[in-house]
Amino acid sequence: QSALTQPASVSGSPGQSITISCTGTSSDVGSYNLVSWYQQHPGKAPKLMIYEVSKRPSGVSNRFSGSKSGNTASLTISGLQAEDEADYYCCSYAGSRVFGGGTKLTVL
Amino acid sequence: EVQLVESGGGLVQPGGSLRLSCAASGFTFSSYWMSWVRQAPGKGLEWVANIKQDGSEKYYVDSVKGRFTISRDNAKNSLYLQMNSLRAEDTAVYYCARFIREAFDIWGQGTMVTVSS
């Protein structure tokens, strides 16, 4: 099972919005509404931010939102804050579970 | 407080074995699927294995099938990963995670496994 494709890096200024894409295939992202997103700060464990494409766990800011179109899922962060600077990973059900390669978000 | 605490990592020679443990607290452990996810140094996340609430179903990533065994003891609120025939490419931080609705919603702090001679 191949990893999902994410951009290596994205950046934005405080207050702006950014979107991180996660591209899979018709066998994973395209077939199931089972995409999740994780935030990981350096040296820390990942944190669940979005599950089932667009649902937010309790306690996660509503500045984080998820969507999907075809074989590509997206994570949008609005009103960027310095604390959002981290690595972000998508994950999809694919018979197995497959992660994206990760995207480093830099807040300028 | 919901918490997962891993232990058992360390340095092991290629071909060796190691058993990781994960102690759960703050939730009804026996009601959840559980998982192991790993992260090689400087690399991304990789799902390793899942186990059903009663241990009756287990799933593994292809690269560890036949070498790793996931298990659990609900009486002890504990999850385990027995790792045999270890290879250099198994070097990673191993995270224990609670698995629900096809997402890993609670994570431990991780335990480092280094496979090297």
- The reported pLDDT for the residue numbered A60 is 98
Q: What are phi and psi of A84, to 5 degrees?
A: -80, -15
Amino acid of residue A82: A
The Cα A76–Cα B13 span in angstroms is: 43
Would the CB atoms of A91 and B45 count as touching at under 8 Å? yes
Which chain B residues touch A if contact means CB-CB below 8 Å? Answer: 37, 44-47, 50, 59, 61-62, 95, 101-110
Amino acid of residue A72: T
- The reported pLDDT for the residue numbered A2 is 76
Q: What are phi and psi of B89, to 5 degrees?
A: -75, -5
Q: Token match 């270890």: residue?
A: B86
Q: Let me know how long chain B is.
A: 117
Pairing outcome for strands B3-7 and B18-25: antiparallel
Going residue by residue through chain A (108 aa), what tens digit of pLDDT does each one get? 678 999 999 999 999 999 999 999 999 999 999 999 999 999 999 999 999 999 999 999 999 999 999 999 999 999 999 999 999 999 999 888 999 999 999 999
Distance from CA of B61 to the nearest CA of A (A): 7
Among B59, B101, B110, whose Cβ lies nearest the Cβ of A51?
B101
- The reported pLDDT for the residue numbered A95 is 82
Interface of A with B in 29-68 (CB under 8 A): 32, 34, 36, 38, 40, 45-48, 51-52, 57
Chain B residues with beta carbon closer than 8 angstroms to that of A34: 102
DSSP string, chain A: -PPBB--SEEEE-TT--EEEEEE--TTTTTT-S-EEEEEE-TTS--EEEEBTTTBPPTTS-TTEEEEEETTEEEEEE-S--GGG-EEEEEEEEESEEEEB--EEEEE-
Residue ranges in chain B whose pLDDT is less than 50: none
Pairing outcome for strands A86-94 and A47-50: unpaired
- The reported pLDDT for the residue numbered A96 is 86
The Cα B6–Cα B23 span in angstroms is: 6
- The reported pLDDT for the residue numbered A1 is 64
- The reported pLDDT for the residue numbered A104 is 98
The Cα A63–Cα A5 span in angstroms is: 23
| Residue burial A65-85, b: 16+ Cβ < 10 Å; e: rest | bbebeebbbbbebeebeeebb
Chain A residues with beta carbon closer than 8 angstroms to that of B46: 99
Among B46, B102, B108, whose Cβ lies nearest the Cβ of A93?
B102
Would the CB atoms of B44 and A34 count as touching at under 8 Å? no
- The reported pLDDT for the residue numbered B88 is 98
